[in-house]
Structure 1
Protein backbone atom coordinates (compact mmCIF):
# COMPACT_ATOMS: atom_id res chain seq x y z
CA UNK A 1 0.00 0.00 0.00
CA UNK A 2 2.69 2.51 0.99
CA UNK A 3 6.51 2.64 0.91
CA UNK A 4 8.43 4.60 3.54
CA UNK A 5 11.79 5.92 2.33
CA UNK A 6 14.34 6.86 5.00
CA UNK A 7 17.77 8.37 4.20
CA UNK A 8 20.35 7.81 6.93
CA UNK A 9 23.96 8.55 7.80
CA UNK A 10 25.65 7.64 11.10
CA UNK A 11 22.33 7.42 12.93
CA UNK A 12 23.34 4.66 15.34
CA UNK A 13 22.28 6.65 18.40
CA UNK A 14 18.66 7.19 17.43
CA UNK A 15 17.61 5.08 14.48
CA UNK A 16 16.34 2.16 16.56
CA UNK A 17 13.86 4.33 18.47
CA UNK A 18 12.76 5.86 15.18
CA UNK A 19 12.26 2.47 13.51
CA UNK A 20 10.34 1.14 16.49
CA UNK A 21 7.90 4.04 16.15
CA UNK A 22 7.64 3.33 12.43
CA UNK A 23 6.93 -0.36 13.02
CA UNK A 24 4.30 0.44 15.68
CA UNK A 25 1.78 2.15 13.41
CA UNK A 26 -1.98 1.70 13.46
CA UNK A 27 -1.69 0.73 9.80
CA UNK A 28 -0.98 -3.03 9.71
CA UNK A 29 2.71 -3.75 9.19
CA UNK A 30 2.03 -5.90 6.12
CA UNK A 31 0.51 -2.88 4.36
CA UNK A 32 3.72 -0.85 4.20
CA UNK A 33 7.39 -1.40 3.53
CA UNK A 34 10.37 0.35 5.11
CA UNK A 35 13.33 1.27 2.91
CA UNK A 36 16.48 2.67 4.55
CA UNK A 37 18.90 4.28 2.09
CA UNK A 38 22.21 4.78 3.85
CA UNK A 39 24.99 7.22 2.99
CA UNK A 40 27.69 4.63 3.77
CA UNK A 41 27.58 5.09 7.55
CA UNK A 42 30.70 4.31 9.57
CA UNK A 43 28.77 3.17 12.63
CA UNK A 44 26.13 0.46 13.16
CA UNK A 45 23.29 2.29 11.41
CA UNK A 46 22.75 -0.34 8.71
CA UNK A 47 23.14 -3.23 11.16
CA UNK A 48 20.40 -1.80 13.37
CA UNK A 49 18.18 -0.89 10.42
CA UNK A 50 18.29 -4.42 9.04
CA UNK A 51 16.44 -5.66 12.14
CA UNK A 52 13.39 -3.56 11.25
CA UNK A 53 13.47 -2.46 7.62
CA UNK A 54 12.45 -4.47 4.56
CA UNK A 55 15.29 -3.06 2.46
CA UNK A 56 18.59 -1.49 3.52
CA UNK A 57 21.21 -0.42 1.00
CA UNK A 58 23.88 2.20 0.35
CA UNK A 59 22.82 5.09 -1.82
CA UNK A 60 24.31 5.47 -5.29
CA UNK A 61 23.10 9.04 -5.96
CA UNK A 62 24.49 12.17 -4.33
CA UNK A 63 23.10 14.05 -1.34
CA UNK A 64 19.87 13.48 0.57
CA UNK A 65 17.66 14.17 -2.45
CA UNK A 66 19.50 11.47 -4.38
CA UNK A 67 19.11 9.04 -1.47
CA UNK A 68 15.36 9.60 -1.48
CA UNK A 69 15.26 9.10 -5.24
CA UNK A 70 17.16 5.81 -4.87
CA UNK A 71 14.62 4.67 -2.29
CA UNK A 72 11.64 5.56 -4.47
CA UNK A 73 13.08 3.64 -7.41
CA UNK A 74 13.53 0.60 -5.15
CA UNK A 75 9.98 0.78 -3.78
CA UNK A 76 7.11 -1.52 -4.68
CA UNK A 77 4.05 0.57 -3.75
CA UNK A 78 2.30 3.44 -5.52
CA UNK A 79 2.20 5.70 -2.47
CA UNK A 80 5.52 6.96 -1.11
CA UNK A 81 6.31 8.79 2.11
CA UNK A 82 9.71 10.20 3.05
CA UNK A 83 10.94 10.85 6.56
CA UNK A 84 14.21 11.08 8.53
CA UNK A 85 15.97 8.62 10.79
CA UNK A 86 16.01 10.97 13.80
CA UNK A 87 12.26 11.62 13.89
CA UNK A 88 9.46 10.08 15.96
CA UNK A 89 6.31 8.95 14.17
CA UNK A 90 2.99 8.95 16.06
CA UNK A 91 1.03 5.72 15.67
CA UNK A 92 -1.73 7.10 13.36
CA UNK A 93 0.79 8.77 11.00
CA UNK A 94 0.71 6.31 8.09
CA UNK A 95 -3.01 5.65 8.45
CA UNK A 96 -3.62 9.40 8.27
CA UNK A 97 -1.63 9.60 5.03
CA UNK A 98 -3.54 6.72 3.42
CA UNK A 99 -6.87 8.27 4.38
CA UNK A 100 -5.74 11.63 3.01
CA UNK A 101 -5.03 10.14 -0.40
CA UNK A 102 -8.44 8.49 -0.33
CA UNK A 103 -10.04 11.82 0.62
CA UNK A 104 -8.10 13.74 -2.03
CA UNK A 105 -7.86 11.47 -5.09
CA UNK A 106 -6.59 14.43 -7.13
CA UNK A 107 -3.64 15.02 -4.77
CA UNK A 108 -0.11 14.60 -6.07
CA UNK A 109 1.64 15.41 -2.79
CA UNK A 110 0.54 15.67 0.85
CA UNK A 111 2.60 17.03 3.73
CA UNK A 112 2.33 17.92 7.40
CA UNK A 113 3.85 19.93 10.28
CA UNK A 114 6.29 18.99 13.04
CA UNK A 115 6.74 19.24 16.79
CA UNK A 116 10.15 19.34 18.55
CA UNK A 117 11.47 16.20 20.20
CA UNK A 118 13.90 18.08 22.43
CA UNK A 119 12.43 19.81 25.52
CA UNK A 120 12.52 23.53 26.16
CA UNK A 121 10.45 26.63 25.44
CA UNK A 122 12.88 27.88 22.79
CA UNK A 123 12.36 24.82 20.58
CA UNK A 124 8.59 24.87 21.07
CA UNK A 125 8.43 28.57 20.20
CA UNK A 126 10.62 28.23 17.11
CA UNK A 127 8.61 25.31 15.79
CA UNK A 128 5.37 27.15 16.62
CA UNK A 129 6.50 30.00 14.37
CA UNK A 130 7.65 27.57 11.71
CA UNK A 131 4.27 25.82 11.69
CA UNK A 132 2.59 29.20 11.22
CA UNK A 133 4.69 29.62 8.07
CA UNK A 134 3.70 26.11 7.00
CA UNK A 135 0.01 26.92 7.46
CA UNK A 136 0.24 30.25 5.63
CA UNK A 137 1.99 28.66 2.67
CA UNK A 138 -0.43 25.76 2.52
CA UNK A 139 -3.51 27.98 2.64
CA UNK A 140 -2.32 30.62 0.16
CA UNK A 141 -0.50 28.35 -2.27
CA UNK A 142 2.20 30.99 -2.67
CA UNK A 143 4.78 28.49 -1.42
CA UNK A 144 4.73 25.05 0.18
CA UNK A 145 6.91 24.48 3.26
CA UNK A 146 7.27 20.76 2.71
CA UNK A 147 9.91 18.89 4.69
CA UNK A 148 11.51 15.71 3.41
CA UNK A 149 10.91 14.42 6.93
CA UNK A 150 7.13 14.48 6.48
CA UNK A 151 6.08 14.34 2.82
CA UNK A 152 4.00 11.81 0.87
CA UNK A 153 3.32 11.61 -2.86
CA UNK A 154 2.13 9.41 -5.69
CA UNK A 155 5.10 7.54 -7.12
CA UNK A 156 4.18 7.82 -10.80
CA UNK A 157 3.60 11.57 -10.60
CA UNK A 158 6.78 12.08 -8.59
CA UNK A 159 8.84 10.33 -11.26
CA UNK A 160 7.07 12.16 -14.05
CA UNK A 161 7.74 15.49 -12.34
CA UNK A 162 11.48 14.77 -12.19
CA UNK A 163 11.88 13.51 -8.59
CA UNK A 164 13.96 15.27 -5.91
CA UNK A 165 16.65 17.57 -7.19
CA UNK A 166 20.22 16.80 -6.13
CA UNK A 167 21.42 19.98 -4.42
CA UNK A 168 22.82 21.30 -1.15
CA UNK A 169 19.52 22.65 0.16
CA UNK A 170 15.92 23.25 -0.79
CA UNK A 171 15.16 19.97 -2.54
CA UNK A 172 12.13 19.34 -0.30
CA UNK A 173 10.68 22.85 -0.68
CA UNK A 174 11.29 22.87 -4.43
CA UNK A 175 9.54 19.56 -5.18
CA UNK A 176 5.91 20.76 -4.77
CA UNK A 177 6.57 23.60 -7.23
CA UNK A 178 6.71 20.90 -9.91
CA UNK A 179 4.31 18.42 -8.35
CA UNK A 180 1.45 20.95 -8.36
CA UNK A 181 1.49 20.69 -12.17
CA UNK A 182 0.42 17.05 -11.81
CA UNK A 183 -2.14 17.27 -9.02
CA UNK A 184 -3.29 19.01 -5.88
CA UNK A 185 -0.82 19.90 -3.11
CA UNK A 186 -2.45 19.20 0.26
CA UNK A 187 -1.41 20.30 3.75
CA UNK A 188 -2.81 18.20 6.61
CA UNK A 189 -2.01 19.67 10.03
CA UNK A 190 -2.99 16.34 11.61
CA UNK A 191 -0.17 14.61 9.74
CA UNK A 192 2.29 15.70 12.42
CA UNK A 193 5.58 14.07 13.46
CA UNK A 194 8.24 14.53 16.13
CA UNK A 195 11.25 16.35 14.65
CA UNK A 196 14.76 16.43 16.12
CA UNK A 197 16.17 19.91 16.63
CA UNK A 198 19.73 18.62 16.95
CA UNK A 199 20.85 20.32 13.74
CA UNK A 200 19.66 23.66 15.05
CA UNK A 201 20.71 23.53 18.71
CA UNK A 202 24.19 24.99 18.16
CA UNK A 203 23.20 27.68 15.66
CA UNK A 204 19.50 28.20 16.28
CA UNK A 205 16.60 27.57 13.94
CA UNK A 206 16.47 31.07 12.48
CA UNK A 207 20.21 31.33 11.82
CA UNK A 208 20.08 27.91 10.19
CA UNK A 209 17.05 28.98 8.15
CA UNK A 210 18.93 32.08 6.96
CA UNK A 211 21.85 29.92 5.84
CA UNK A 212 19.39 27.58 4.10
CA UNK A 213 17.79 30.46 2.19
CA UNK A 214 21.26 31.77 1.29
CA UNK A 215 22.23 28.44 -0.28
CA UNK A 216 18.93 28.27 -2.16
CA UNK A 217 19.24 31.88 -3.35
CA UNK A 218 22.71 31.17 -4.73
CA UNK A 219 21.28 28.71 -7.20
CA UNK A 220 19.30 25.99 -5.52
CA UNK A 221 16.18 26.94 -7.46
CA UNK A 222 17.84 27.64 -10.81
CA UNK A 223 16.17 26.46 -14.00
CA UNK A 224 18.71 23.69 -14.40
CA UNK A 225 19.72 21.26 -11.72
CA UNK A 226 21.20 17.84 -11.22
CA UNK A 227 19.08 14.72 -11.07
CA UNK A 228 20.74 11.31 -10.75
CA UNK A 229 23.95 12.92 -12.03
CA UNK A 230 22.34 14.31 -15.18
CA UNK A 231 21.38 17.89 -15.86
CA UNK A 232 17.83 18.63 -16.90
CA UNK A 233 15.56 21.66 -17.16
CA UNK A 234 12.51 22.10 -14.95
CA UNK A 235 9.12 21.68 -16.54
Structure 2
Protein backbone atom coordinates (compact mmCIF):
# COMPACT_ATOMS: atom_id res chain seq x y z
CA UNK A 1 0.00 0.00 0.00
CA UNK A 2 1.28 3.46 -0.98
CA UNK A 3 0.05 6.85 0.24
CA UNK A 4 0.73 9.64 -2.27
CA UNK A 5 0.68 13.03 -0.55
CA UNK A 6 0.34 16.39 -2.30
CA UNK A 7 1.01 19.58 -0.33
CA UNK A 8 -0.74 22.60 -1.78
CA UNK A 9 -1.61 26.25 -1.22
CA UNK A 10 -3.58 28.39 -3.70
CA UNK A 11 -2.79 25.98 -6.54
CA UNK A 12 -6.14 25.93 -8.36
CA UNK A 13 -4.36 26.63 -11.67
CA UNK A 14 -2.01 23.65 -11.49
CA UNK A 15 -3.32 21.06 -9.02
CA UNK A 16 -5.67 19.48 -11.59
CA UNK A 17 -2.77 18.23 -13.73
CA UNK A 18 -1.06 16.93 -10.57
CA UNK A 19 -4.11 14.96 -9.43
CA UNK A 20 -4.94 13.80 -12.94
CA UNK A 21 -1.48 12.26 -13.20
CA UNK A 22 -1.78 10.64 -9.77
CA UNK A 23 -5.21 9.13 -10.34
CA UNK A 24 -4.06 7.60 -13.64
CA UNK A 25 -1.27 5.41 -12.28
CA UNK A 26 -0.38 1.92 -13.53
CA UNK A 27 -0.12 0.87 -9.87
CA UNK A 28 -3.21 -1.11 -8.74
CA UNK A 29 -6.05 1.24 -7.72
CA UNK A 30 -6.74 -0.68 -4.51
CA UNK A 31 -3.12 -0.39 -3.36
CA UNK A 32 -2.67 3.36 -3.26
CA UNK A 33 -4.43 6.45 -1.95
CA UNK A 34 -4.03 10.14 -2.76
CA UNK A 35 -4.05 12.65 0.09
CA UNK A 36 -4.04 16.43 -0.46
CA UNK A 37 -2.96 18.62 2.45
CA UNK A 38 -3.92 22.26 1.96
CA UNK A 39 -2.32 25.11 3.89
CA UNK A 40 -5.51 27.21 3.79
CA UNK A 41 -6.10 28.07 0.12
CA UNK A 42 -8.55 30.80 -0.84
CA UNK A 43 -8.57 30.30 -4.62
CA UNK A 44 -10.80 27.24 -5.03
CA UNK A 45 -8.09 24.59 -4.74
CA UNK A 46 -10.40 22.38 -2.67
CA UNK A 47 -13.14 22.55 -5.29
CA UNK A 48 -10.70 21.41 -7.99
CA UNK A 49 -9.40 18.57 -5.80
CA UNK A 50 -12.95 17.38 -5.11
CA UNK A 51 -13.33 16.49 -8.78
CA UNK A 52 -10.72 13.73 -8.36
CA UNK A 53 -12.16 11.98 -5.32
CA UNK A 54 -9.00 12.33 -3.24
CA UNK A 55 -8.78 12.69 0.52
CA UNK A 56 -8.53 16.39 1.39
CA UNK A 57 -7.11 17.76 4.64
CA UNK A 58 -6.85 21.45 5.61
CA UNK A 59 -3.98 22.68 7.80
CA UNK A 60 -4.88 26.36 8.03
CA UNK A 61 -1.79 28.59 8.04
CA UNK A 62 0.61 25.64 8.33
CA UNK A 63 4.12 25.69 6.91
CA UNK A 64 5.13 23.27 4.17
CA UNK A 65 6.94 21.17 6.75
CA UNK A 66 3.83 20.99 8.93
CA UNK A 67 1.64 20.10 5.93
CA UNK A 68 3.96 17.25 5.03
CA UNK A 69 3.67 15.94 8.58
CA UNK A 70 -0.12 16.16 8.43
CA UNK A 71 0.05 14.05 5.28
CA UNK A 72 2.21 11.48 7.03
CA UNK A 73 -0.27 11.33 9.92
CA UNK A 74 -3.17 10.73 7.51
CA UNK A 75 -1.29 8.10 5.49
CA UNK A 76 -2.02 4.39 5.84
CA UNK A 77 0.54 3.07 3.35
CA UNK A 78 3.72 1.10 3.89
CA UNK A 79 5.30 3.71 1.66
CA UNK A 80 4.63 7.46 1.61
CA UNK A 81 5.30 9.33 -1.64
CA UNK A 82 5.36 13.11 -2.04
CA UNK A 83 4.94 15.37 -5.04
CA UNK A 84 3.92 19.02 -5.24
CA UNK A 85 0.84 20.72 -6.61
CA UNK A 86 2.77 22.32 -9.49
CA UNK A 87 4.05 18.96 -10.71
CA UNK A 88 2.79 16.08 -12.83
CA UNK A 89 4.09 12.54 -12.42
CA UNK A 90 4.41 9.83 -15.09
CA UNK A 91 1.86 7.00 -15.12
CA UNK A 92 4.48 4.55 -13.83
CA UNK A 93 5.62 6.86 -11.00
CA UNK A 94 4.38 4.82 -8.02
CA UNK A 95 5.19 1.50 -9.67
CA UNK A 96 8.77 2.63 -10.37
CA UNK A 97 9.31 4.01 -6.87
CA UNK A 98 8.05 0.85 -5.17
CA UNK A 99 10.05 -1.41 -7.46
CA UNK A 100 13.21 0.58 -6.82
CA UNK A 101 12.86 0.83 -3.03
CA UNK A 102 12.02 -2.86 -2.70
CA UNK A 103 15.17 -3.61 -4.67
CA UNK A 104 17.08 -2.27 -1.65
CA UNK A 105 15.10 -4.19 0.95
CA UNK A 106 18.30 -5.69 2.33
CA UNK A 107 19.79 -2.23 2.98
CA UNK A 108 18.63 -0.92 6.36
CA UNK A 109 20.25 2.44 5.64
CA UNK A 110 18.09 3.13 2.55
CA UNK A 111 14.89 4.95 3.56
CA UNK A 112 13.59 6.19 0.24
CA UNK A 113 13.87 6.79 -3.49
CA UNK A 114 13.91 10.05 -5.41
CA UNK A 115 14.44 11.37 -8.90
CA UNK A 116 14.87 14.58 -10.89
CA UNK A 117 12.33 17.23 -11.79
CA UNK A 118 12.15 18.70 -15.28
CA UNK A 119 10.17 21.58 -16.86
CA UNK A 120 6.88 20.81 -18.57
CA UNK A 121 7.13 20.49 -22.38
CA UNK A 122 4.72 23.43 -22.82
CA UNK A 123 6.32 25.71 -20.20
CA UNK A 124 7.68 29.12 -21.33
CA UNK A 125 11.17 29.19 -22.89
CA UNK A 126 12.63 30.83 -19.77
CA UNK A 127 11.39 28.01 -17.53
CA UNK A 128 13.04 25.48 -19.82
CA UNK A 129 16.22 27.52 -19.63
CA UNK A 130 16.04 27.31 -15.84
CA UNK A 131 15.59 23.55 -16.05
CA UNK A 132 18.64 23.17 -18.27
CA UNK A 133 20.68 25.46 -16.03
CA UNK A 134 19.81 23.28 -13.05
CA UNK A 135 21.16 20.36 -15.01
CA UNK A 136 24.65 21.86 -14.87
CA UNK A 137 27.01 21.55 -11.92
CA UNK A 138 27.21 25.35 -11.61
CA UNK A 139 23.45 25.77 -11.77
CA UNK A 140 22.59 23.15 -9.17
CA UNK A 141 25.68 22.99 -6.99
CA UNK A 142 25.82 19.29 -7.75
CA UNK A 143 22.62 18.45 -5.86
CA UNK A 144 21.04 15.32 -7.39
CA UNK A 145 17.46 16.59 -7.41
CA UNK A 146 18.29 18.83 -10.37
CA UNK A 147 21.82 18.08 -11.59
CA UNK A 148 21.92 15.61 -14.47
CA UNK A 149 23.18 12.39 -12.88
CA UNK A 150 23.25 9.64 -15.48
CA UNK A 151 22.98 6.52 -13.31
CA UNK A 152 21.35 5.18 -10.17
CA UNK A 153 23.26 5.96 -7.00
CA UNK A 154 22.94 6.49 -3.25
CA UNK A 155 22.68 10.14 -2.15
CA UNK A 156 22.12 12.06 1.06
CA UNK A 157 19.12 14.09 -0.10
CA UNK A 158 16.49 14.27 -2.83
CA UNK A 159 13.74 16.78 -3.67
CA UNK A 160 10.44 16.41 -1.84
CA UNK A 161 8.52 16.98 -5.08
CA UNK A 162 9.67 13.53 -6.20
CA UNK A 163 10.30 11.14 -3.34
CA UNK A 164 8.95 7.92 -1.85
CA UNK A 165 9.79 6.95 1.75
CA UNK A 166 9.61 3.72 3.65
CA UNK A 167 6.89 4.76 6.12
CA UNK A 168 8.83 3.20 8.99
CA UNK A 169 11.21 6.15 8.98
CA UNK A 170 8.40 8.42 10.22
CA UNK A 171 8.10 6.48 13.46
CA UNK A 172 11.34 8.18 14.52
CA UNK A 173 11.75 11.20 12.25
CA UNK A 174 9.42 13.94 11.00
CA UNK A 175 9.70 17.16 9.03
CA UNK A 176 10.23 20.33 11.05
CA UNK A 177 6.84 22.01 11.52
CA UNK A 178 8.52 25.42 11.65
CA UNK A 179 10.16 25.34 8.20
CA UNK A 180 8.38 26.64 5.11
CA UNK A 181 11.15 26.54 2.49
CA UNK A 182 14.02 24.04 2.49
CA UNK A 183 12.09 21.67 4.74
CA UNK A 184 13.25 18.69 2.68
CA UNK A 185 16.93 19.70 2.87
CA UNK A 186 16.68 20.05 6.65
CA UNK A 187 14.80 16.76 7.12
CA UNK A 188 17.15 14.83 4.88
CA UNK A 189 20.17 16.35 6.60
CA UNK A 190 18.99 14.86 9.89
CA UNK A 191 18.42 11.52 8.19
CA UNK A 192 21.89 11.59 6.61
CA UNK A 193 23.47 12.47 9.96
CA UNK A 194 21.81 9.34 11.35
CA UNK A 195 23.39 7.28 8.57
CA UNK A 196 20.42 6.99 6.19
CA UNK A 197 20.57 7.35 2.42
CA UNK A 198 18.25 7.68 -0.60
CA UNK A 199 18.38 5.97 -3.96
CA UNK A 200 18.50 8.55 -6.73
CA UNK A 201 17.12 7.17 -10.00
CA UNK A 202 17.38 9.60 -12.96
CA UNK A 203 14.74 7.64 -14.90
CA UNK A 204 11.99 8.47 -12.36
CA UNK A 205 11.44 12.09 -13.35
CA UNK A 206 8.49 14.40 -12.69
CA UNK A 207 7.44 17.50 -14.62
CA UNK A 208 7.69 20.66 -12.54
CA UNK A 209 6.63 24.24 -13.33
CA UNK A 210 9.87 26.16 -12.82
CA UNK A 211 10.34 29.95 -12.68
CA UNK A 212 8.64 31.39 -15.75
CA UNK A 213 10.40 34.79 -15.72
CA UNK A 214 13.56 36.46 -14.47
CA UNK A 215 11.88 38.13 -11.48
CA UNK A 216 10.45 34.91 -10.04
CA UNK A 217 13.79 33.18 -10.68
CA UNK A 218 15.58 35.82 -8.58
CA UNK A 219 13.00 35.72 -5.81
CA UNK A 220 13.21 31.94 -5.58
CA UNK A 221 17.01 32.08 -5.41
CA UNK A 222 16.75 34.59 -2.57
CA UNK A 223 14.26 32.41 -0.68
CA UNK A 224 16.54 29.37 -1.06
CA UNK A 225 19.47 31.32 0.33
CA UNK A 226 17.40 32.50 3.29
CA UNK A 227 16.13 28.99 3.96
CA UNK A 228 19.57 27.41 3.87
CA UNK A 229 20.95 30.00 6.27
CA UNK A 230 18.10 29.34 8.70
CA UNK A 231 18.61 25.58 8.47
CA UNK A 232 22.32 25.95 9.15
CA UNK A 233 21.60 28.21 12.12
CA UNK A 234 19.16 25.59 13.29
CA UNK A 235 21.89 22.94 13.40
CA UNK A 236 24.90 25.13 14.08
CA UNK A 237 26.89 23.63 11.22
CA UNK A 238 27.40 23.85 7.47
CA UNK A 239 24.97 21.53 5.68
CA UNK A 240 25.82 22.08 2.02
CA UNK A 241 29.26 23.67 1.94
CA UNK A 242 29.18 23.99 -1.84
CA UNK A 243 25.92 25.95 -1.99
CA UNK A 244 27.39 29.25 -0.78
CA UNK A 245 30.65 29.09 -2.77
CA UNK A 246 29.39 30.88 -5.92
CA UNK A 247 27.82 33.65 -3.81
CA UNK A 248 31.09 34.04 -1.91
CA UNK A 249 32.90 34.16 -5.25
CA UNK A 250 30.64 36.96 -6.49
CA UNK A 251 31.11 38.84 -3.23
CA UNK A 252 34.87 38.42 -3.50
CA UNK A 253 34.70 39.77 -7.04
CA UNK A 254 32.88 42.91 -5.88
CA UNK A 255 35.42 43.44 -3.10
CA UNK A 256 38.27 42.90 -5.58
CA UNK A 257 36.78 45.50 -7.92
CA UNK A 258 36.50 47.99 -5.05
CA UNK A 259 40.06 47.23 -3.97
CA UNK A 260 41.38 47.75 -7.49
CA UNK A 261 39.41 50.98 -7.83
CA UNK A 262 40.76 52.35 -4.54
CA UNK A 263 44.32 51.36 -5.46
CA UNK A 264 43.89 52.89 -8.92
CA UNK A 265 45.39 49.75 -10.47
CA UNK A 266 44.11 46.45 -11.85
CA UNK A 267 45.29 43.55 -9.65
CA UNK A 268 42.67 40.97 -8.64
CA UNK A 269 39.64 41.61 -10.82
CA UNK A 270 40.90 40.06 -14.08
CA UNK A 271 41.63 36.73 -12.39
CA UNK A 272 38.21 36.55 -10.73
CA UNK A 273 36.44 37.72 -13.88
CA UNK A 274 38.24 35.05 -15.89
CA UNK A 275 37.11 32.39 -13.41
CA UNK A 276 33.49 33.54 -13.71
CA UNK A 277 33.63 33.64 -17.51
CA UNK A 278 35.13 30.15 -17.58
CA UNK A 279 32.42 28.72 -15.28
CA UNK A 280 29.54 30.55 -16.96
CA UNK A 281 30.89 29.69 -20.41
CA UNK A 282 30.96 26.01 -19.51
CA UNK A 283 27.38 26.20 -18.20
CA UNK A 284 26.28 28.11 -21.33
CA UNK A 285 27.73 25.43 -23.58
CA UNK A 286 25.93 22.71 -21.61
CA UNK A 287 22.60 24.55 -21.78
CA UNK A 288 22.97 25.23 -25.50
CA UNK A 289 23.75 21.57 -26.13
CA UNK A 290 20.58 20.68 -24.21
CA UNK A 291 18.23 23.31 -25.71
CA UNK A 292 19.82 24.40 -28.99
CA UNK A 293 18.57 27.96 -28.49
CA UNK A 294 20.37 31.34 -28.60
CA UNK A 295 18.67 32.08 -25.26
CA UNK A 296 21.53 30.09 -23.75
CA UNK A 297 23.51 33.35 -24.00
CA UNK A 298 21.47 34.53 -20.99
CA UNK A 299 23.11 31.92 -18.75
CA UNK A 300 25.98 34.14 -17.49
CA UNK A 301 23.45 36.78 -16.42
CA UNK A 302 21.21 34.14 -14.82
CA UNK A 303 24.11 32.59 -12.93
CA UNK A 304 25.24 35.98 -11.63
CA UNK A 305 21.69 36.85 -10.56
CA UNK A 306 21.04 33.42 -9.03
CA UNK A 307 24.01 33.56 -6.72
CA UNK A 308 23.77 37.27 -5.99
CA UNK A 309 20.18 36.81 -4.79
CA UNK A 310 21.06 33.55 -3.04
CA UNK A 311 23.82 35.41 -1.21
CA UNK A 312 21.48 38.23 -0.19
CA UNK A 313 18.95 35.71 1.12
CA UNK A 314 21.65 33.77 2.94
CA UNK A 315 22.86 36.95 4.63
CA UNK A 316 19.30 37.85 5.61
CA UNK A 317 18.70 34.39 7.02
CA UNK A 318 21.95 34.52 8.97
CA UNK A 319 21.14 37.89 10.56
CA UNK A 320 17.40 37.33 11.11
CA UNK A 321 16.53 37.59 14.85
CA UNK A 322 14.00 34.74 14.90
CA UNK A 323 14.83 32.13 17.55
CA UNK A 324 16.30 28.81 16.45
CA UNK A 325 13.58 26.06 16.59
CA UNK A 326 13.77 23.38 19.27
CA UNK A 327 15.70 20.18 18.64
CA UNK A 328 14.06 17.41 16.64
CA UNK A 329 15.14 13.76 16.36
Normalised to the residue count of structure 1, the TM-score between the two structures is 0.84
Partner of 2:209: 196
Q: Which stretch of structure 1 is more off in the superposition, 4-13 or 127-136?
A: 127-136
Aligned partner of residue 41 in structure 1, secondary structure: coil
The counterpart of 1:113, out of the listed 111, 116, 119, is: 116
Q: Is the contact made by 1:113 and 1:189 (CA closer than 8 Å) also made in structure 2?
A: yes
Partner of 1:15: 15
Gapped regions of structure 2 (runs ≥ 5):
237-324
Max Rg structure? 2
The structure with the greater share of residues assigned to strand is 1
Q: Which stretch of structure 1 is more off in the superposition, 69-78 or 152-161?
A: 152-161
- List aligned pairs for 1:145-160, cutoff 5 A: 146-160=158-172
CA shift in 2, pair 1:103/1:192, >3 Å = same
Residues 1:127 and 2:131 aligned together: yes
Deviations 1:143-162 (CA, angstroms, capped at 9, x unpaired): 63x22211221222134123
Gapped regions of structure 1 (runs ≥ 5):
226-230
Partner of 2:47: 47
Return the offset for 1:232: 3.1
Q: Larger RCO: Structure 1 or Structure 2 (Cα < 8 Å, ≥ 6 residues apart)?
A: 1
CA shift in 2, pair 1:142/1:212, >3 Å = farther
Q: Is the contact made by 2:3 and 2:76 (CA closer than 8 Å) also made in structure 1?
A: yes
Aligned partner of residue 110 in structure 1, secondary structure: strand
Q: Is the contact made by 2:63 and 2:180 (CA closer than 8 Å) also made in structure 1?
A: yes
Deviations 1:38-81 (CA, angstroms, capped at 9, x unpaired): 12222321122123243102115721111111011011012111
- List aligned pairs for 1:1-235, cutoff 5 A: 1-59=1-59, 62-105=62-105, 106=107, 107-117=110-120, 118-133=122-137, 136-138=142-144, 144=157, 146-180=158-192, 181=194, 183-197=196-210, 199-205=211-217, 207-223=218-234, 231-235=325-329
Aligned pairs, number: 228
Which stretches of structure 1, 4 residues or longer, exceed 6 Å deviation after superposition? 139-142
